[in-house]
Amino acid sequence: MNDSDPSNPCFSAQRRRVLLGMGAAGVALAGSSLSGPALAATGKAAQVTAAPSSDKTHERHAFHGQHQSGIVTPRPAAGMLVSFDVLASDRAELERLLRTLDQRIKFLMAGGPVQQVDPKLPPLDSGILGPVVTPDNLTITVSVGASLFDERFDLAAAKPKRLIRMVGFPNDALEPDNCHGDLSLQFCSNTADTNIHALRDIVKNLPDLLLVRWKQEGSVPPQAPAKPGEAAQSARNFLGFRDGSANPDSNDRTAMQQIVWVQPGSDEPAWAAHGSYQAVRIIRNFVERWDRTPLQEQQSIIGRVKASGAPMDGQQEHQVPDYRKDPHGQLTKLDAHIRLANPRTAQTQRNLILRRPFNYSNGVNKNGQLDMGLLFICYQADLEQGFIAVQTRLNGEPLEEYLKPVGGGYFFALPGVTGDQDFIGRGLLEATRTHTTA
């Protein structure tokens, strides 16, 4: 008798267990004429090679705006940071690079049909999204590194005041091949394939002007919708803790102006207004060691309850810890990660940053250990008062035993493109045009 035969008692018992485990929604599905984990729109069971379905593929963000998208924009499930060396040899080629980036990003974010060419010629598109490119919630954020302001393009006079080459902190083991760059592109979308499609499009259209230096992909695990009256929960990182619980409110425009965006009239070059400093770190997690660490020690190191994400003196994730009532670190250790990162004093309010991290998994190292961790990305109006100050406070923290930063860089996210007559990076070029021709 076959186990899949409904007359088999084993089948009946198994079916009862499945129904009991599915809950009310599962029972309703199982009671229909067809049951299974995935049903096609036709009501038939899906085939093994059928593509997963989504109603999110036509989500899109506006390309034009005072600020670039992908910074305070809600973080989707798939992220990727790619750093490039710029191959342009003069300002004319640099402008061609920026104008081409502008055109391609505008199309990729909006989506649309791909122009067909003579089959004897290479196609204009990789085709991995099909003949019609779907926007799929894509954002592409363009930032520039300190090395772009060398002697090649005579941009030194317009260099953002606090933009420097990333230097190592005491616990770093930075790999040169995974650090720095003239230009970075941050890709964010609903699916990893959309990011890869966009990267390949840009590489195809700029082969003589851009060379990939390093790339890191990442993801964010989707969460179940919040229950009525409850705040949305932050996603978990590969240490199993919620990441971003104390992030500033990205919908608070006043807060974002203070924390994220360079303001007009500041000591930064005038063209940099409405841009932001981007700090990127590839942080490997020693997950095998972490998984052998007692729960109470994990929570003590982080400063939060692992299951709920609540601070040690709270009940819910987004509660604000009150360190004034715990001056000696009886509940939250004085060297706990969250307490060092944000001591919550009047003086350290100027050190706030906006985090936009993704988990990454790069396979297995030669020693058989899992190569996974955090693609840390954050934005701030002042790199020195933001990430650098926070990381300096974290130097020597107990968490360092379980992680090792291996790559990344500092960049400046360019201001947004305000209209069809504008293009990404135009302000930077114009700010140095008089200097160049004087």
Q: What is the pLDDT of residues 262-315, one digit of tens each?
A: 999 999 999 999 999 999 999 999 999 999 999 999 999 999 999 999 999 999
Q: Are 395 and 255 in contact (CB under 8 A)?
A: no
70 annotated as belonging to a binding site for a ligand: no
Residue 339 marked in a binding site? no
Could you tell me if 343 and 326 are in contact, meaning their C-beta atoms sit under 8 angstroms apart?
Answer: no
CA distance to 15, 167, 180, 409, 438, per residue, from 176 (Å): 56, 11, 8, 10, 37
Q: In this structure, is residue 268 part of a structural domain?
A: yes
List the Cα angle 407/409/411 in 5-degree steps: 160
How high is the pLDDT of residue 31? Answer: 37
Smallest Cα–Cα separation from 72: which of 370, 362, 381? 381
In a domain, 366, yes or no: yes
Q: Angle, nearest 10°, between helix axes 91-110 and 192-205? A: 150
Does residue 16 fall inside a structural domain? no
- 319 token code pair: 């509660």
> Residue 344, annotated ligand binder?
yes
Burial of residue 215, with CB atoms counted within 10 A of its CB: 0-12 exposed, 13-18 middle, 19 or more buried: middle
**Domain coverage including residue 418:** 67-222+233-431
Q: Is 200 marked as binding a ligand?
A: no
Count Cα neighbours of 373 within 13 Å in the Cβ-side half-sphere: 22
46 found inside a domain: no
Q: Does residue 20 sit within a domain?
A: no
Of the candidates 304, 398, 389, the residue with the CA atom closest to the CA atom of residue 345: 389
- At 20 the pLDDT is 39
- Decide: 155 and 428 in contact? Cβ < 8 Å: yes
Beta bridge partners of 283: 374, 405
Q: How far apart are CA 306 and CA 287, in angstroms?
A: 15
337 known ligand binder: yes
Closest CA to 135 of 212, 65, 59: 59
Report whether 318 belongs to an annotated binding site. no
Residue with tokens 């082969």: 207
pLDDT mean for each 10 residues of the chain (438 residues):
46 43 38 46 80 91 97 97 98 98 98 95 96 97 98 97 97 98 98 98 98 98 86 93 95 97 98 98 98 98 97 94 96 98 96 98 96 98 98 98 98 97 97 67
The predicted model scores a pTM of: 0.89
> Can you give the pLDDT at residue 45?
85
Q: Output the DSSP codes for 27-68.
A: HHHHTSS--SS-B-TTSSBPPTTPPPP-S-TT----SBSSS-
Contact 273, 357 (CB under 8 A): no
Q: How far apart are CA 82 and CA 79, in angstroms?
A: 10
355 is in an annotated binding site: yes
Domain count of the fold of the chain: 1
Indicate whether 41 belongs to any domain: no
Decide if 302 contacts 290 (C-beta within 8 A). Answer: no
Q: Is 328 annotated as a binding residue?
A: no
pLDDT in tens, 355-372: 999 999 999 999 999 999
413 in a domain, yes or no? yes
**CB of 167 within 8 A of CB of 176?**
no
Whether 350 maps to a domain, the answer reads: yes
245 is in an annotated binding site: yes
Of 110, 112, 144, 153, nearest to 411 by C-alpha is: 144
253 exposure class (CB count in 10 Å sphere: 0-12, 13-18, 19+) = exposed
